[in-house]
Structures are given as C-alpha cells and as structure tokens.
Amino acid sequence: MSAGAPAVLAQGLTKRFKAFTAVDHLDLRIKKGEIIGFIGPNGAGKSTTIRMLCGLLHPSEGRAWVAGFDVDRQPEAVREHIGYMSQKFSLYGDLTVRENLLFFGGIYRVPRRDFNERMRFAVSMAGLEGRENALVRTLAGGWKQRLALGCAILHRPPILFLDEPTSGVEPEARRRFWDLIHELAAEQVTILVSTHYMDEAEYCNRIALIDRGKLIASGTPGELRARRLRGELFEISCTPLGAAVKVLTGTPGVVEAAIFGDKLHVVLGEGGISATDLPGYFGEHGIQAGPAHRVTPSLEDIFVQLVSGRRERRTLP
Amino acid sequence: MNVRRLFAMAYKETLQIWRDPRSLAIALLMPLMQLVLLGYGVSLDIRHVPLCVYDQENSQQSRAVVKSFVSSDWFSISRTIHNQTGIDYALNRDQCIAALVIPADFSRRLAATGTAPVQAVFDATDVNTTNIALGYAQGVVAQTNAQIADGWAATHGILPSLVGQVDLDPSTWFNETLDSKNFIIPGVVAVILALVGAELTSLTISREWERGTMEQLISTPVTATEVMLGKLIPYFAIGFIDAGFCLVSAVYWFGVPFRGNIGTLLITTGLFIVVVMGIGYLISVRIRSQLGASQIALVLTMLPTTLLSGYTFPIDQMPAPIRAITFVVYSRYYVTILRSVFLKGSGLSDLWAPLLGLSIYALIIIWLAARAFHKALD
C-alpha cells in the first residue's frame, strides 16, 4: 500500500441476491486514518457492503480494493490487513476471555514476544481485568463488544471494519466504545463503522449515507448539514403527531415534515406557509400545537430529507 | 498451511468438544451404549427354545427322548401338556415355539420295528428362529436315533457296526465354536465407529454456523485446509480412543479371539476413521444446523453399515443389484478386514482387496472434504 493510496476504494460495487439488489453500484474512497460512518436504515446494504470489503461475499459487479488488494481476487491478503467485527456477536461463548484471545492471536499469528503485552492491552481495553477466565457467554453486552474489538485488533490491522458494533449496547458502554475507536484512529488506523444510531454519526470524520443499496450522500457532518437542507428547520410540539404530518403533506411551503422523537420537525422553503402561521394552521385542522422554534438540523433531519426526497422522485412518472 | 494456526484451531476445537455435552456424550457414552445394545442384543444363536411336551406314553423310553431334548441346551421345557388342545393353547399364547408329541404306542412300536415316529409342531411366524430350531430338533433326533439303533441292534443280536450309518464329521475353521458372537462383534465395532465418527464431525462446522461464530472465523486469514485439519485432528484422536475401547472390549469382554497383528488393526482402523470423519465433515459443511447434520450423519452411517456392510446380512446372499451397491458402502471393507484380522489373523497383504477399496474411499473423501469448505457467506 503506497503512501497516498486510499485505504479502501470501491468502484461500482454491486451485490444482488437473486432479484434483490442489496448494494447498487457503490463508489467509495476512504483515506488512511479516517473514521468513516456508514449510516442508513436497516436493510440499506451497509452490512452487505462491509462483507464484500472483507472478502466474505463475492461482488456481483464492480471491484473494490482494501489495503491495495482486490477483495474478490486476493481475499486472503485482504484478511491479513483487516480486523472485522460482525453485526452479531461472534466470539466463542463457550471459551473464556483468555482462550478467545489465544485463539485469535494464534489465527492471526501475533508474534509470540508481543502476545502477552497485546493480550493485556485487549483485556484492559475491554475492562475485563480479573475476569480472564470467565466464559465469554456470561459477559454483559458492553464487555462482549469491547472484547470482540480487542480480538479484532490483536494483530494491529491498519484497517478496521465494524458492523453496527454498538447495537444493543447500553449508552454508557457505547460512549466508551467510541472513545476506543478514536484512540485507534489516532494511531492511523482506518475505521469503517456502520451504525443506525444517528447521534453516533457525529463522532465520525466523514459520513456515507446509504439507502436502498445506494450511496446518497457523503461528507463531513458539517458539510452535510450545510448543504443538504433546502430551507429552514423548525421544531414544533403537537398532538397527534401522525395526523400533523398528514396535514402538512402537500401544504405549499412545506419541504419536509417528519416526526422527531415526541416533536415534529418541519422544513419550510421560500413562499407558502410561514413558521408563525403553523400553530394556527394546525388548530384549523383540529391539532393542538405549541409555537414553532427554529433549530439547527441534526444529521437525522438531513437523512430523513435525503431519503424521502429519493422516494418521492422515484414515485413520479 | 501454517502450523501455528493449525494448532490454534485444534486447541480451540478440543476445548469446545470438552465443554459441549452433546459432543462429549457422542464421543464417550455412545460407544458404550451401542456396544452393550448391539453386543448383547444381536445374536444369531438360539439357545433354550421354549418347548412344550405332550408325552402320551410316559414310559422310560419316551422320557429318554424328552431328556435328550433338554440336555441338548438348545431346548428347555416351558410346559408339560396332557391333552391335544393344550398344544394349540400353548402355541397361541406364545408359551412355546415348539411342541413335542410322543404317541402312546411309542415304545411298543419301537420294540417291534426298531423305529417309532414322534411329532414336533413349530410356531413358524418367525421363520428364521423356526428354521434354526427345526435344525436343532433334527440334530437331537438323529443323535437319539443312533443310540436307539445301537440298542435295537444289540437286543436283536446284530453287531452295531453292521447297522448302516453315515456320519458327517464337519470341521469348522476360524470360528471353531460356530459362535455367532465372533462374527457379529467385529461388525459391531465397525457400526459404532461409523456412527460415532460421522456424528461427531457432523457437528463441527454446523456448530460454527449455528452459533454465529463462522462469520468471524472466515474474516481471518485462516485457510480452508487449516480449518478442516485443525478441526479433524481432535476428532481423529477421539476416534482412536473409541476404537481402542471397542476393540479391547471385543477381545476381553466379549471374548472374541484375536489372532491378527495390532499394527494391521491400527492402520486399517485409522483409514476407516478418516473415511467416516470425512463423511461427517462433508455433511457438516453442507448442512448449517447441528440437528439436521447429525440426523443425516445417522442415516448415512447407521443404515448402510447395519444393512449393507455384511455385518449381519451376508453380502453373498443379496440379489445382484444390491450386492453391487454394497461396493460403495465403505463399511463393508472394514467389516471384512476386521473379521479377517480377528478370526483369521490376516495381515495387510492378505487384505489387499478390501484395503484397496477403503484406501480409494479415503482418498476420494479427503479430496472432496478439502474442496468442500469455502470461506465465504454466499
């Protein structure tokens, strides 16, 4: 891998499962030392993409290079240079913490002189000091995830693929996990991490928004926020939320309306209804509503707009 | 292939076997259970056939006939009957398999003519048992005849040697006592090894799929060959332990004579274990659930080995098409080898034909197994 070469490069990467296209001509370029977040709803094709990049699935079309090796033609060379954490926890539950580390250390041929030190590092990173002899299936979610990360980086891979590493893990453990990811990135490890938690997207250097197998946007969180919203974003409390979305659909001036937690997020464009008119407009339709506040768009707002924009376009003749 | 990765794989697999109750039970309990069930349950010898006796005469001579049946060890009297309907009753109620009827004029006719008929009625619902029992009965009668003829000749002043008699003096080799156990037990060893070997390895790859550990495993640089060999090494060791247990039990517990050479036994047994474990592994690669894989392993080992290996049903007696099929039943070669090594003391050169069959089988299985596993999810 030469100095300027990208850590990961994908060109027209496509995966079809019979009639279903899981990944649709995806282009991707990841620089060394970057943390790139794959964001998208379930079934968007994030896992399938990661599996192709790890050489676990054969691409139906297109090519990809990881650490300079072709994922379809040199999968073993790719595997020497990557660490992978699959979506489902997949260490051996019937082995102890130490036995799992020993196994992966052996499989990755970690030099014997480094092994003890790396094992200590992995154990302390996972916060499992003193529990080296516990069967892994007895550990709670957060510890399991950190141990899986520890096993995936035992051989010091330059590139890490983490597929929804924090799903099903409590928020405190998720925070700790992201701290670890940043520590690794500081050591020039390239990290591709997928998540469906929008708040985690903010922790990434760059984001790739994926929907229905296509890359629909990519950039730093700031860039995405700045360029993607076609109007101004307002937040408004109202009940019932579902009816409120229905009322706004098709109303002139409304670019986008979506439920955001227990509130409604409305993007208003030029002309048409204004923010001050909204509560009254809702009242006319029998919906209770408070005043509308202007808010800074979150990545989730951007994402919702991008995804719904695509779907509307698709339904037009 | 890398020794370090191979070792890591084998060590991990050993730990998993050790902690998996199902694998442990198959490895350690199943051979014992099968040995008891098959070793004791399957016997082609018939002893103590229940016999009802209706002695209408009850004379010294008629009692002598009855006694000759009892003292043969092949029959034992389950009931004594005093009328004709009693025979129907006893046969209908399964109180006996055979009924012996001695007519009231037995000793009078014997004295007058030198011969007297006795009647034997058999329950022929189980043809096999009946045939064997009938054979025994004829044997007993023939013996009694000889004694009576000698006695009759003597009382009529004729030298016994002048009464025409032809005796067949059979000589049986290799299984001198004609004990079916000596024939069955080596076959039982083959059945157990086939079943245990394939069952164990059928779990090995499917376990990784079922528990979701496969995805992590194939994301590492471990090669398919290292996975296969690393996984099979511990099972191969278990297979040898089980084989040792079965073979030692055959000799010291069941008393099967062992006339062969231990080396021949070890080489051929190793070859057989490779074949059955390879078959289990192939199943495991294809079937991603442990239960499914172990069911298929059961069908692919137990059925052909019990039915088509010649373990109980002689291959010579099978119709030609079935006999042709037995050539693809790997256990037929091993059953033949085991019997010859045990009873005839055959060496490797005597066994070249079944050894060739087994070796070809092992090569094909190894070739298929090495190509079967792909490190990919699709």
Percentage of chain B modeled with pLDDT above 90: 41
- Put simply, the answer to whether A91 touches B216 (Cβ < 8 Å) is yes
Tell me the sheet residues that pair with A217.
A209
Last residue of a domain, one of B162, B194, B221: B162
pLDDT of residue B177: 59
**B282 vs chain A: nearest CA distance in angstroms?**
21
Is residue B87 a part of any domain in this protein? yes
Regarding whether B246 and B270 lie in a shared domain, the answer is yes
pLDDT of residue B176: 61
pLDDT of residue A142: 85
In whole angstroms, give the CA distance from residue B373 to residue B281: 9
ipTM over 0.85: no
Q: C-alpha distances in angstroms, A313 versus A39, A244, A307, B1?
A: 21, 23, 10, 54
CATH (domain of B101): 3.40.1710.10
Q: A21 Cβ partners below 8 Å, 6+ apart?
A: A14, A15, A213
Antiparallel, parallel or unpaired: β A206-211 and A61-66:
unpaired
Give the end-to-end CA distance of chain B in Å, rounded to a whole number: 24
Q: C-alpha distances in angstroms, B269 versus B234, B274, B280, B305, B349?
A: 16, 9, 16, 15, 16
Output phi, psi for B238, to 5 deg.
Answer: -60, -40
Regarding whether B324 and B222 lie in a shared domain, the answer is yes
Distance of CA B282 to the CA centre of its chain: 27
Q: A152 Cβ partners below 8 Å, 6+ apart?
A: A83, A84, A85, A104, A160, A162
Is residue B10 a part of any domain in this protein? yes
Regarding whether B155 and B183 lie in a shared domain, the answer is no
Segment B82-135, tens digit of pLDDT: 888 888 888 888 888 888 888 888 888 877 776 778 888 888 787 777 877 888
Whether pLDDT at B186 is above 60: yes
Residues composing chain B: 378
Last residue of a domain, one of B162, B197, B218: B162
Segment B23-59, tens digit of pLDDT: 899 888 999 998 888 888 766 667 788 888 998 888 8
Q: Are B56 and B103 in contact (CB under 8 A)?
A: yes
Regarding whether B295 and B187 lie in a shared domain, the answer is yes
Q: Does B18 touch chain A if contact means CB atoms closer than 8 Å? A: no
Pair of tokens at residue A129 = 């000091």
Supply angle C-alpha B199, B203, B205, rounded to 5.
135
In whole angstroms, give the CA distance from residue B233 to residue B273: 11
- Put simply, the answer to whether A75 touches B7 (Cβ < 8 Å) is no
Regarding whether B226 and B331 lie in a shared domain, the answer is yes
- Put simply, the answer to whether B16 touches A92 (Cβ < 8 Å) is yes
Is residue B77 a part of any domain in this protein? yes
Q: Are A83 and A160 in contact (CB under 8 A)?
A: yes
Q: C-alpha distances in angstroms, B274 versus B37, B208, B251, B334, B360?
A: 25, 21, 24, 12, 12
The number of beta carbons lying within 10 Å of the beta carbon of residue B122 is 19
Whether pLDDT at B183 is above 90: no
H/E stretch holding A159 reads strand A159-163
Regarding whether B117 and B74 lie in a shared domain, the answer is yes
Regarding whether B345 and B262 lie in a shared domain, the answer is yes
Is residue B172 a part of any domain in this protein? no
Residues composing chain A: 317
| Nearest Cβ partner for B219 among A54, A89, A94 | A54
Residue with tokens 């309907």: B85
3-class DSSP string for A248-313: HCCCCCEEEEEEECCEEEEEECCCCCCHHHHHHHHHHCCCEEEEEEECCCCHHHHHHHHHHHHHHH
Regarding whether B311 and B199 lie in a shared domain, the answer is yes
Is residue B171 a part of any domain in this protein? no
Q: Are B17 and B24 in contact (CB under 8 A)?
A: yes
Q: Does B20 touch chain A if contact means CB atoms closer than 8 Å? A: yes
Q: C-alpha distances in angstroms, A143 versus A85, A226, B249?
A: 14, 37, 49
Regarding whether B347 and B259 lie in a shared domain, the answer is yes
Q: A308 Cβ partners below 8 Å, 6+ apart?
A: A256, A258
Largest CA distance in chain B: 99
H/E stretch holding B312 reads none
Listed residue (A300, A309, A82) closest to A195, CA to CA: A300
Listed residue (B249, B193, B233) closest to B26, CA to CA: B193
Whether pLDDT at B286 is above 50: yes
Tell me the sheet residues that pair with B55.
B102
Is residue B329 a part of any domain in this protein? yes
Q: C-alpha distances in angstroms, A25 versus A15, A71, B285?
A: 8, 16, 32
Region of B219 on the Ramachandran plot (φ > 0 left; ψ -120 to 50 alpha; else beta): alpha
Listed residue (A107, A13, A19, A89) closest to A51, CA to CA: A13
Last residue of a domain, one of B162, B189, B219: B162
In whole angstroms, give the CA distance from residue A110 to residue B226: 17
Pair of tokens at residue A186 = 């500081």
Is residue B167 a part of any domain in this protein? no
Is residue B76 a part of any domain in this protein? yes
Among B207, B216, B217, B377, pick the best mutation site for testing chain A contact (most A Cβ within 10 A): B216
Regarding whether B28 and B74 lie in a shared domain, the answer is no
In whole angstroms, give the CA distance from residue A214 to residue A46: 10
Listed residue (A200, A187, A88) closest to A145, CA to CA: A88
Pair of tokens at residue B259 = 């006339």
Tell me the residue type at A148: A
H/E stretch holding B142 reads helix B127-155
pLDDT band at B362 (very low <50, low <70, confident <90, very high): very high
Distance of CA A97 to the CA centre of its chain: 27
- Scanning A63-82 for CB atoms below 8 A from B yields 75-76, 79-80, 82
Percentage of chain B modeled with pLDDT above 70: 91
Q: C-alpha distances in angstroms, B377 versus A42, A55, A78, B5, B211?
A: 19, 9, 16, 21, 15
Q: Which of the given ranges, A63-72, A195-204, B151-160, B255-264, has the highest pLDDT on average?
A: A63-72
Does residue A240 have a cis peptide bond before it, meaning omega lies within 30 degrees of 0?
yes
- Put simply, the answer to whether A94 touches B16 (Cβ < 8 Å) is yes
Regarding whether B354 and B210 lie in a shared domain, the answer is yes
Residue of chain A whose Cα is closest to the Cα of B21:
A94
The domains found in chain A, sorted by start residue, are: 8-225 (3.40.50.300), 230-296 (3.30.70.100)
**A10 vs chain B: nearest CA distance in angstroms?**
19
- Put simply, the answer to whether B219 touches A79 (Cβ < 8 Å) is yes
- Put simply, the answer to whether B4 touches A106 (Cβ < 8 Å) is yes
Number of domains in chain B: 2
Regarding whether B254 and B127 lie in a shared domain, the answer is no
Antiparallel, parallel or unpaired: β A35-39 and A61-66:
unpaired
Q: Are A31 and A188 in contact (CB under 8 A)?
A: no
In whole angstroms, give the CA distance from residue A249 to residue A305: 13
H/E stretch holding B373 reads none
Q: Are A261 and A300 in contact (CB under 8 A)?
A: no
In whole angstroms, give the CA distance from residue B49 to residue B314: 24
Q: Are B204 and B281 in contact (CB under 8 A)?
A: yes
Each residue's pLDDT, cut to its tens digit, for chain A (317 residues) gives 455 689 999 999 999 999 899 999 999 999 998 999 998 888 889 999 999 999 999 999 999 999 999 999 999 999 999 999 988 888 999 999 999 999 999 999 999 999 999 999 999 888 899 999 999 999 988 889 889 999 999 999 999 999 998 887 888 888 888 998 998 899 999 999 998 887 888 889 999 989 889 998 888 888 887 766 677 888 998 888 888 888 888 888 888 888 887 888 888 887 788 888 888 888 888 888 888 888 887 777 777 777 766 655 444 33
pLDDT of residue B167: 47
Domain that holds residue B151: 49-162
Q: Does A156 touch chain B if contact means CB atoms closer than 8 Å? A: no
Listed residue (A165, A227, A226) closest to A196, CA to CA: A165
